[in-house]
Structure 1
């Protein structure tokens, strides 16, 4: 009986769930790896014809050539006035701000509700949803359909990247999302949100590893301030201090570190793909979500998890609507992210999302009653102050470099 209890606890633990998911993903990655190696070593494209199969293999393994790239610029017959342009920009900025806030604040509230609260139905049954991977799947399938539909009706640059390269950031994106949902079983939502705000640190480390990127002194200073703020918040959390019913555990910390590491790799790898192949943001969104749907659906089918998750969805109608709205918010949030970055740049986007993180903590504390001490509040303020300081220093440095470049250009003309 004791052995059965230990085995049951092991299979229900997050470690066992993680290992099982990784094993299922390997059934896609391992055959895919050997297929890619076969096509490359056998020089299939050189001896194949020009049919559909050759085009598919070329797109997946080699990517399309860069020549004859179509332009995406549409000539304008009449230039808009400066006043109208400024007004339009203000309207766009407000729309992006509201779209991101509504999408991700709603998404955060539902995420916490789904993973931490019990569901009831009219028959008096009580259930608690536990399959984080199913939530990742329903989020990604809707995002893939939206991005694919947009690509079909819009003009896009010629796609040149080997499609298989999206699988790396797709895998890390799946794992970061899985960690995000799973962490809520062990830590509070405010702790998770503040950990997201602290992901600058693993992003810098991953940037060094993946892209050999160099950082300015202020980036290291703000990273240290964020670390101190996060530590103060964790020490000041009253829930972390309690021994009975503790929510901040070693497992939660490990999962959050995993989330930040995977998320850091995702952004750096996608940045590398953008710089090498110049694809559009929607093409990136479609490629990443395609592999995410492939991996999660394969894993769910192999673990026979689709049936229980769907049964839970229809047993508890409230969960059905929560999951549906969660997926819509996730998909529309991604579209707002890409649009905001393309129109206003990453700095404005970071400021908007930083504000969103602060509001998410406040909203979670108000709705779900998470207590935070004075030390925890100081930690939160220190983290967000460091983030805004980082954005300010980045902009000031760019302005100084631009002035120096302009001054150097003027002196060379003399």
Structure 2
């Protein structure tokens, strides 16, 4: 899709996309931490069945993508068949579940930083499996991100955060985050393969196929037998409507955020989207620290700045590479 209009129109559209992505995902991040750490009702119970968040998110995004295809899609071309997403949906279902489960053991800022280090497993797998050679600036980016995440993980967590976490276990929490990244890598590679085989596939088709299979998998896991955890999660929501409301808003934020990301990619490209989402993570950490009463120490803030310096440097390298490609095309 090509964005039309003058320079002012494009600036306003970009500002609209930034506001949409930031507001949706920052709100979702705050709600994610709230649902995983808050004690609901007079009995002070925590919502332990965090996999239910993934199920609710899949259902909402499935309905949303179906409606978008019916309302907005003007193309009659057929994309990838629905069954082609079954394998990518397995890792796409397990990965986010591990990320959410990690919040039982580490703080939300720690989870955000750990998940920001996506380039680390990508470079490790690329070097060991495919023999890819990376440049020195790319290694510098990885060093900054890995060093920042490691320093944050080893720094002292505030007592307020420790009191909110029932069973703090930092190694397990960060381990779950890195497994999440590994599964995300497989998911992205499979989606790229599907797009290559079926070029007419739209973003809504992918969203529909992935969430359809994800819903099937989690429904079987959470409701496949009489005493499965899904029934307990539903009962908890019935007894604690505040938790049910937080979960619903969490899911709607995810669906709205995905829409703004697709709009940004289609109008301005993936590099702009990466820049917006990267800065959004930093803002999420700041907002989480201010609103949830989990103050970060000076060492932790230094770690945060170290990570985002690496990510910003990575964005700059991508931008410079894109500029070189465009110059070659003009000169050809």
Task: Give the structure-2-normalised TM-score.
Answer: 0.89
DSSP 3-state at the match of 1:371: coil
Does structure 1 conserve the Cα–Cα contact (< 8 Å) formed by 2:222 and 2:231?
no
Does structure 1 conserve the Cα–Cα contact (< 8 Å) formed by 2:153 and 2:170?
no
Bigger drift between 211-220 and 317-326 goes to 211-220
Determine the structure 2 residue equivalent to 1:66.
Answer: none
Shift of residue 162, structure 1, vs aligned partner? 4.0
Question: C-alpha root-mean-square deviation of aligned residues, in Å?
Answer: 2.6
Whole-angstrom CA distance in 1 between matches of 2:231 and 2:154: 41
Whole-angstrom CA distance in 2 between matches of 1:214 and 1:160: 34
Whole-angstrom CA distance in 2 between matches of 1:213 and 1:328: 40
Distance 1:232 1:119, change over 3 A: same
Counterpart pick for 1:125 among 36, 40, 43: 43
Aligned pairs, number: 325
Shift of residue 210, structure 1, vs aligned partner? 8.9
Matched, 1:298 2:217: no
Does structure 2 conserve the Cα–Cα contact (< 8 Å) formed by 1:210 and 1:268?
no
Shift of residue 218, structure 1, vs aligned partner? 2.5
Distance 1:211 1:107, change over 3 A: farther
Matched, 1:92 2:16: no
Matched, 1:380 2:283: no
Shift of residue 323, structure 1, vs aligned partner? 0.9
Shift of residue 248, structure 1, vs aligned partner? 4.7
Q: Deviations over 1:279-314 (max 9, x none)?
A: 111111111011011111111111433322111111
Determine the structure 2 residue equivalent to 1:63.
Answer: none
Whole-angstrom CA distance in 1 between matches of 2:127 and 2:84: 20
Matched, 1:280 2:202: yes
Determine the structure 2 residue equivalent to 1:59.
Answer: none
DSSP 3-state at the match of 1:137: helix
**Structure 2 gaps, min length 5:** none
Shift of residue 209, structure 1, vs aligned partner? 8.1
Task: Give the structure-1-normalised TM-score.
Answer: 0.72
Determine the structure 2 residue equivalent to 1:57.
Answer: none
Bigger drift between 264-273 and 165-174 goes to 264-273
Q: Deviations over 1:48-95 (max 9, x none)?
A: xxxxxxxxxxxxxxxxxxxxxxxx99xxxxx97xxx422221121111
Whole-angstrom CA distance in 1 between matches of 2:169 and 2:286: 18
Higher relative contact order (CA 8 A, sep 6+): 2
Shift of residue 161, structure 1, vs aligned partner? 2.6
Determine the structure 2 residue equivalent to 1:164.
Answer: 83
Distance 1:109 1:253, change over 3 A: same
Shift of residue 192, structure 1, vs aligned partner? 0.2
DSSP 3-state at the match of 1:250: helix
Does structure 1 conserve the Cα–Cα contact (< 8 Å) formed by 2:162 and 2:168?
no
Whole-angstrom CA distance in 1 between matches of 2:140 and 2:240: 49
Distance 1:293 1:207, change over 3 A: farther
Does structure 2 conserve the Cα–Cα contact (< 8 Å) formed by 1:207 and 1:268?
no
Counterpart pick for 1:340 among 261, 264, 274: 264
**Structure 1 gaps, min length 5:** 1-71, 74-78, 410-414
Residue correspondence of structure 1 range 227-242 to structure 2 within 5 A: 227-239=146-158
Question: Bigger radius of gyration, 1 or 2?
Answer: 1
Determine the structure 1 residue equivalent to 2:246.
Answer: 322
Determine the structure 2 residue equivalent to 1:412.
Answer: none
Does structure 1 conserve the Cα–Cα contact (< 8 Å) formed by 2:29 and 2:284?
yes
Counterpart pick for 1:365 among 289, 295, 303: 289
Shift of residue 394, structure 1, vs aligned partner? 1.5
Matched, 1:200 2:119: yes
Distance 1:205 1:274, change over 3 A: farther
